[in-house]
Amino acid sequence: MGHVPNPRPAGDFRTSYIGDNALFKTRFEGKAALGIVLALVIAAPFLSNYVLSQLIVISIYSIAALGLNILVGVTGQISLGHGAFFGFGAFASAWIVNSFGIPALIAIPLAGLLTTAVGMIFGVPAARIKGLYLAIATLASQFILEDFFARAEWFSGGVYGALAERPTFFGFIFDTDLSYFYLVLFWVVASIVAVTNLLRSRDGRALVAVRDHYLSAEIMGVNLTKYRILSFGISSFFAGLAGALFAHYLEFVSVEGFTILLSIQFLAMIIIGGLGSVYGTILGAIFVLLLPQVMEGAATSAAGLFPALETGKAYIKEMSVGAAIILFLIFEPEGLIHRWRVIRASWKLFPFAR
Partner 1 sequence: MNSELLLQLLLNGIIVGMLYGVVAMCFVLIYKSTQVVNFAQGEFLVLGGWVCLSLVIQMGLPFFLAFLFTLVFMAIFGIVVQQIILRPLIGEPIISVIMVTIGLSIFMQSLMNWVFGNDAKRFPDIFGSLSVISIGGLNVETAYVMSLVLSLVIMAVFYFFFRFTRHGLAMRATAFNQQIAQSLGISVKQTFAMAWAISALVSGVAGVVMGIVSAVSNSLAFVGIKVFPAVIVGGLDSIVGAVVGGLIIGVLENLAEFIDGEYLHIGNLYTIAPFYVLIIILMIKPYGLFGTKDIERI
Nearer to partner 1, 183 or 336 (CB): 336
Provide the CA 346 distance to its chain's centre, in angstroms. 29
Kindly indicate which of the ranges 26-34, 49-57, 244-252, 326-334 contains the residues binding partner 1, using the contact rule CB under 8 A.
326-334
Nearer to partner 1, 81 or 112 (CB): 81
Kindly indicate which of the ranges 94-102, 153-161, 281-289, 328-336 contains the residues binding partner 1, using the contact rule CB under 8 A.
328-336
78 touching partner 1, by CB under 8 A: yes
147 touching partner 1, by CB under 8 A: yes
Kindly indicate which of the ranges 17-25, 92-100, 111-119, 314-322 contains the residues binding partner 1, using the contact rule CB under 8 A.
314-322
150 touching partner 1, by CB under 8 A: yes
User: From the CB of 312, what's the least distance to partner 1, in Å?
Assistant: 5
Is residue 180 a contact partner of residue 264, using CB atoms and an 8 Å limit?
Answer: no
Kindly indicate which of the ranges 8-16, 17-25, 38-46, 315-323 contains the residues binding partner 1, using the contact rule CB under 8 A.
315-323
Contacts with partner 1 in 12-71 (CB under 8 A)?
A: none
140 touching partner 1, by CB under 8 A: yes
Provide the residue type at 3 as one letter. Answer: H
Nearest Cα to Cα of residue 174 among 98, 109, 251 = 251
d(CA 83, CA 98): 23
d(CA 178, CA 44): 7
User: From the CB of 129, what's the least distance to partner 1, in Å?
Assistant: 5
Nearer to partner 1, 93 or 156 (CB): 156
Provide the residue type at 169 as one letter. Answer: F
Is residue 205 a contact partner of residue 141, using CB atoms and an 8 Å limit?
Answer: no
Q: Select from 32, 43, 129, 294 the one that contacts partner 1 (CB under 8 A).
A: 129
Coil, strand or helix at 13: coil
User: From the CB of 233, what's the least distance to partner 1, in Å?
Assistant: 18
Residue 104, beta-bridge partner list: none
**51 Cβ contact partners less than 8 Å away, ≥ 6 residues apart:** none
Nearer to partner 1, 194 or 291 (CB): 291
User: From the CB of 325, what's the least distance to partner 1, in Å?
Assistant: 3
Would you list the DSSP string of 184-251?
HHHHHHHHHHHHHHHHTSHHHHHHHHHHH-HHHHHHTT--HHHHHHHHHHHHHHHHHHHHHHHHHHHT
319 touching partner 1, by CB under 8 A: yes
Kindly indicate which of the ranges 145-153, 167-175, 276-284, 340-348 contains the residues binding partner 1, using the contact rule CB under 8 A.
145-153
151 touching partner 1, by CB under 8 A: yes
Would you list the DSSP string of 44-96?
GGGS-HHHHHHHHHHHHHHHHHHHHHIIIIIT----S-HHHHHHHHHHHHHHH
Residue 35, beta-bridge partner list: none
Provide the residue type at 314 as one letter. Answer: A
**Binding residues for partner 1, per CB under 8 A?**
1-2, 72, 78, 124-125, 128-129, 131-133, 135-137, 139-141, 143-144, 147, 150-151, 215, 261, 264, 267-268, 271, 275, 311-312, 315-316, 318-319, 321-326, 329-330, 333
